């Protein structure tokens, strides 16, 4: 079946459909990971985005029941150069095509993903649509121009859990995870380090969190514009100085905003499992997994209270901050790395050390 990917600037890519049929809108972005497409598909941070994989062959090891990062896919569409015709892995339970079809996600293959990626790098991420029902380029461009973007939109409310739940029920340390679209591997990493993890909705107040008497609070990753999620920013403001805090990705941006900083939209974002970040304390370079389109403005931070701990070596943007007085820190990238390198798992150990010192 024929499918069209149309961008808001009028650029058109024609290919073949796979997965679901229909029409879906989102911001078109690219991910440079060579593997881990299942984790990318199920990462809630991709809500509202059409994801292009730069690696040319996707789907060769299928989908399994163990590598989910949430209960279902959240992205708006999936773009690949070639969908593998062969699925070969002992853990595989279904094909990529079957998985997308079952979860009503539209895919398109057979387009020049290198050209698309270069286009986005040159002009920036932009709104787009994948359609198998309307094959008129002119009609699709008109519709995508008036579709909803990401700036100023609260997508967290669409992916957060409906009510609080216990990820596990035993552990030396009690951690409350504020779910803004959390990946499962954050909870797994905490649990394996002796934490009893309670996951709460993003609109949970600081008063409610503190009433649970946690040893620490985790601010999760999530989708969209951090400045639009004002209720989380206010909650974080009230938690600073009262409990150890560790923020990841959107959690990093929320912490920065709560500390008086500002965020801005990156031209095409950081997405992939191969981004170099320098730890400014050790001077070591970590290869990291990233997925974000917004960034914390370094110049907006109060350097008397906050220190920069990590920096992106590609564009020198903020990748980590720490409060100079309180046990509060965050990173822009994903130390839980599912999928991706394990260079940054030590950050969970640093959080555990903060919990030990509190106790």
Active site residue 334: yes
pLDDT in tens, the chain (359 residues): 999 999 999 999 999 999 999 999 999 999 999 999 999 999 999 999 999 999 999 999 999 999 999 999 999 999 999 999 999 999 999 999 999 999 999 999 999 999 999 999 999 999 999 999 999 999 999 999 999 989 999 999 999 999 999 999 999 999 999 999 999 999 999 999 999 999 999 999 999 999 999 999 999 999 999 999 999 999 999 999 999 999 999 999 999 999 999 999 999 999 999 999 999 999 999 999 999 999 999 899 988 999 999 999 999 999 999 999 999 999 999 999 988 999 999 999 999 999 998 75
Catalytic residue among 180, 249, 295, 354: 249
Active site residue 336: yes
Residue in 141, 197, 207 with CA at minimum distance from that of residue 172: 197
- Please give the backbone phi and psi of residue 98, each rounded to the nearest 5 degrees, phi first: -65, -40
Sign of CA dihedral 155, 156, 157, 162: positive
Active site residue 252: no
Q: Identify the pLDDT of residue 325.
A: 95
CB atoms under 10 Å from CB of 272, counted, come to 21
Query: Which pTM does this prediction carry?
Result: 0.95
Catalytic residue among 286, 310, 334, 354: 334
358 contacts: CB under 8 Å, gap ≥ 6: 215, 216, 243, 244, 327
Architecture of domain 2-145 in CATH? 3-Layer(bba) Sandwich (3.50)
Would the CATH topology of 2-145 be identical to that of 156-358? no
Q: Identify the pLDDT of residue 294.
A: 97
Report the C-alpha gap between 273 and 101 in whole angstroms.
26
Q: Identify the pLDDT of residue 359.
A: 56
Q: Identify the pLDDT of residue 187.
A: 98
Q: At what angle do helices 230-239 and 250-258 cross, to 10 degrees?
A: 70
Size of the chain in residues: 359
What fold, for 156-358? Rossmann fold (3.40.50)
Report the C-alpha gap between 169 and 331 in whole angstroms.
27
Contact indicator for 33, 272 with CB cutoff of 8 Å: yes
Q: What are the domain boundaries of the chain?
A: 2-145, 156-358
User: 3-class SS at 174?
Assistant: strand
**Tokens describing residue 281:** 């304390």
């Amino acid at each position: 079946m024929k499918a069209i990917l149309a961008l808001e600037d009028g650029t058109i890519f024609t290919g073949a459909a796979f997965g679901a049929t229909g029409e879906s809108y989102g911001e078109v972005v690219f991910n440079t990971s060579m593997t881990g497409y299942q984790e990318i598909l199920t990462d809630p941070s991709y809500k509202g985005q059409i994801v292009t994989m730069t690696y040319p062959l996707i789907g060769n090891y299928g989908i399994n029941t163990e590598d989910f990062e949430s209960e279902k896919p959240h992205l708006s569409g999936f773009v690949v150069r070639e969908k593998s015709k062969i699925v070969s892995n002992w853990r595989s339970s279904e094909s990529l095509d079957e998985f997308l079809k079952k979860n009503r996600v539209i895919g398109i293959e057979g387009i020049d993903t290198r050209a698309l990626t270069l286009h986005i790098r040159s002009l920036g991420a932009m709104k787009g649509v994948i359609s198998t029902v309307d094959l008129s380029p002119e009609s699709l461009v008109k519709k995508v121009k008036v579709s909803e973007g990401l700036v100023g939109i609260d997508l967290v409310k669409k992916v957060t859990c409906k009510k609080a739940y216990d990820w596990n029920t035993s552990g030396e340390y009690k951690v409350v995870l504020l779910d803004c679209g959390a990946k499962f591997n954050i909870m797994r990493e905490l649990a394996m380090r002796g934490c009893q993890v309670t996951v709460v909705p993003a609109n949970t107040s600081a008063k409610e969190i503190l009433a649970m008497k946690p040893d620490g609070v985790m601010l999760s990753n999530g989708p969209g514009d951090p400045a639009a999620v004002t209720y989380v920013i206010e909650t974080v403001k009230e938690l600073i100085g009262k409990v150890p805090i560790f923020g990841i990705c959107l959690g990093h941006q929320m912490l920065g905003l709560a500390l008086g900083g500002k965020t801005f939209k990156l031209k095409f974002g950081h997405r992939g499992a191969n981004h170099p970040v320098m730890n400014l304390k050790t001077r070591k370079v970590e290869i990291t997994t990233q997925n974000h389109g917004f960034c914390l403005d370094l110049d907006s931070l109060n350097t008397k209270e906050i220190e920069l701990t990590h920096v992106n070596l590609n564009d020198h943007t903020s990748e980590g901050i720490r409060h100079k007085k309180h046990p509060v820190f965050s990173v822009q990238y994903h130390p839980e790395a599912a999928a991706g390198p394990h260079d940054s798992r030590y950050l969970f150990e640093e959080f555990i050390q903060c919990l030990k010192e509190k106790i």
